[in-house]
Chains A and B, each alone.
Chain A
Amino acid sequence: MNPEFARKLNIIGVLGICGVLLGAYYVQFVGHEFPCPLCLLQRLGMLGVAFGAMLNLRYGVQPAHYGVSLLSAVFGASVSVRQILLHIVPGTGGYGTPVWGLHLYTWAFIVFVVAIFLIGIMLIFEGQFKKDLLHKAPVRIGFFVKTVFLLAVFITAANVVTTFLECGFGACPGNPTSYEELR
């Protein structure tokens, strides 16, 4: 696998994570459902996965950047498994409305496991690292990659605002029913 193809796959990865986070916003604002603390931690795990891919776009493809994504995916998977186990007992219900038959935290677990699997596959192809392994300075990036980068930053910044409105300065409520700062 050459570095250019690996960079394209990383662009797809960042866009995929942005799509998942925008989907979560759709459920939050169109479905009028409030994200719980564990849901927000899963979003943070997703951002970590995207951040590793963004480092690959900015500095060239390097194993350390995949490590960043991998650690974030393991963290996110741990959080989503915890939430799945909270509701695994029959009759205890689940948090939020299911999407295509599964709750969002189950989808999040699937996303994290797929991310771990794909990063493992990517790490097998050493050809992508030869050119950029010692390259620590930013590489030249085009308009499209800049747009993808800015989209991820914008979604993260939006999460700062919406999470602050929901939780304020204190700890987020376990079962939020309103935006604390808008009451």
Chain B
Amino acid sequence: MMASLFLLFVIDMVLAWRGERAASIVLFFITLILCALMFWHHISEPLNIDL
């Protein structure tokens, strides 16, 4: 699943290279939101720290 986020960045960069500026920026925002959701998924696990 994490690999797909990197794949989205590859597509982002290829779109930017091919002159699709607007599409690459929109896809960037989608990618960033998915990254934030992935971050949320990982930080919502309970911490295993005995204080």
Contacts and interface: CB of A to CB of B under 8 A. Distances in A.
A165 to B, nearest CB: 9
A41 B13 CA distance: 18
A167 B9 contact: no
A51 B13 contact: yes
A10 interface: no
Contact of B6 (A86, A149, A156, A170): A156
A68 B28 contact: yes
Interface string A75-88: 10011001000100
Contacts, number: 100
Interface stretch (A22-30, A54-62, A98-106, A113-121): A54-62
Interface residues on B, range: 20 to 34
- Does more than half of chain A's interface fall in helix, strand or loop, or is it mixed? helix
Contact of B38 (A41, A55, A71): A41
A54 B13 contact: yes
Given A44-B35, A55-B16, A75-B35, A157 B43 contact: no
Interface in B4-49: 5-7, 9-10, 12-14, 16-17, 19, 21-22, 24-25, 28, 31-32, 35-36, 38-39, 41-43, 45, 47, 49
Given A75-B32, A75-B36, A92-B49, A40 B2 contact: yes
B16 A58 contact: yes
A72 B46 CA distance: 26
Contacts of A160: 3, 6-7, 10
Given A37-B2, A68-B25, A156 B13 contact: yes
Contacts of B45: 174
Interface string A21-48: 0000000000000000110110111011
21 contacts: A38-B42, A41-B38, A43-B6, A48-B9, A48-B31, A51-B16, A55-B16, A55-B24, A71-B32, A78-B39, A79-B39, A89-B49, A136-B22, A153-B14, A156-B13, A163-B3, A163-B6, A164-B3, A169-B1, A174-B42, A174-B45
